[in-house]
Amino acid sequence: MATVKPFKAIRPVPGLADKIASLPYDVVNTEEARNLAKDNPYSFLHVDRAEIDLAPSINPYDEIVYEKARENFDRMLKKGLFIKDNEENYYIYREIMNGRSQVGLVATVSIDEYLEGIIKKHELTLPEKEQDRINHMDYCDAHTSPVFLTYKANQELKKLLNSWMKSKNPIYDFALEDEIRHTVWIIDDKTLIDKITSVFKEIDYLYIADGHHRAAASVKVGLKRREQNPDYKGDEEFNYFLAVLVPHDEVFIMPYNRVVKDLNGYSESEFIEKIKEKFEVEKCSEGQPFNPSKKHTFGMYLSGNWYKLTAKEGIFNPSDPIESLDVSILQKNLLDPILGINDPRTDKRIDFVGGIRGLEELERRVKEDMKVAFSMHPTTVEDLIAVADAGMIMPPKSTWFEPKLRSGLFIHELS
């Protein structure tokens, strides 16, 4: 049984949503955030990546960064850039990218259900990154970015949300430079709110798609607030965290491709011969990139040539939800044993490229600072759910979700 709860959102005033909305803090580095926000004083990156308003030498985990985030947030509130709804509402957040629609319910979800496993995860988190968001939430006294959750599609919910979208005017409707359209409706009808809450109680599990560090940090902040308030009743806002819930059949996952700096001492011919032990290797026509269209096939770009790699039978267990992932097959049969990438989380010889950047980015990286690139078939949302249901952890960098949920459109106060 999944618990969702409406909340009183802090959200942009009409007319500024497109200027405030920003990419999530964790998909841009400091320099990219600085460039994106330099001519836009309204950008929410001034809150989510506040180091951009400090000296370039600043450590992004320094306490002064969190103080600056709070200062910038307070300044934006005082300037009247945001409003706070007086009643607890749900919100609908629809994104359209390349004609494909993703409709999410914006709500808060229970930290207890995260702890109990009703909200399931599939990734490990890094303590340093968790602590960063803990500090950010504590200083801002708010969840400033939503966690992206999914659930097994429910037709009744689809009908309820679609009916509301057709009958009501949106509060925001804008497209940004990437041509993704963002449209938001407010659900302020008590009867519909109660109905949505009731339908979610019939859904067994929620799954974290993206935002594992935000979720883990939100839970730890909530537990910390409970210790500070021993007489808490359970309905306080710190017992819940901000989420956008999207049905699984509308979740779009792109590949998370790999680039590696060297061939681990092998010549190119030796390297290809080693690969042939576990993969069928086929050289592509000159100038023809290989973008895998089915599972267990991979593209490889090496010295200006593309190759198709096909995993041989018997090198993985097809019934194992982890072993059968393409990211696992590549890691266990090529990256680790041949290229010596034992831990892709920490090895500096490997980098990861989101599929949104295209195969051209892989070619560019190989020509610029890498030796070999691998294009992947995307992990499916069904793969994600199977891994989470099995209580297992996906390999790092298994999924790249598009479109990204924008930050700054919904803020959830903790107190």
pTM confidence score: 0.92
Q: What distance in Å separates the CA atoms of residue 203 and residue 200, rounded to the nearest whole number?
A: 5
Q: What distance in Å separates the CA atoms of residue 376 and residue 411, rounded to the nearest whole number?
A: 35
Q: Taking 90 as the threshold, does the pLDDT of residue 286 lie above it? A: no
Please state the domain extents for the chain. Answer: 4-249+402-413, 256-377
CATH of domain 256-377: 3.30.1760
pLDDT of residue 302: 98
> Tell me: the pLDDT tens digits for 203-253?
999 999 999 999 999 999 999 999 999 999 999 999 999 999 999 999 999
DSSP 335: I
Please give the share of the chain, as a percent, with pLDDT higher than 90: 97
Sign (positive/negative) of CA torsion 44, 47, 53, 57? negative
* 158 in Cβ contact with 245 (< 8 Å): no
Of residues 319, 316, 318, 339, the one with CA closest to residue 329:
316
Q: What distance in Å separates the CA atoms of residue 66 and residue 408, rounded to the nearest whole number?
A: 17
* 394 in Cβ contact with 379 (< 8 Å): yes
* Element containing residue 134 per DSSP (H, E): helix 127-140
pLDDT of residue 21: 98
> Tell me: the pLDDT tens digits for 166-189?
999 999 999 988 899 999 999 999
Tokens 């920003």, residue located: 22
Of residues 404, 406, 403, the one with CA closest to residue 21:
406
Residues in the chain, total: 415
Q: What distance in Å separates the CA atoms of residue 281 and residue 297, rounded to the nearest whole number?
A: 10
How much is the mean pLDDT over the chain?
Answer: 97
* 308 in Cβ contact with 276 (< 8 Å): no
Of residues 332, 316, 335, the one with CA closest to residue 324:
316
Q: What distance in Å separates the CA atoms of residue 184 and residue 104, rounded to the nearest whole number?
A: 10
What count of other Cβ atoms lies within 10 Å of the Cβ of residue 92?
A: 22
pLDDT of residue 403: 95
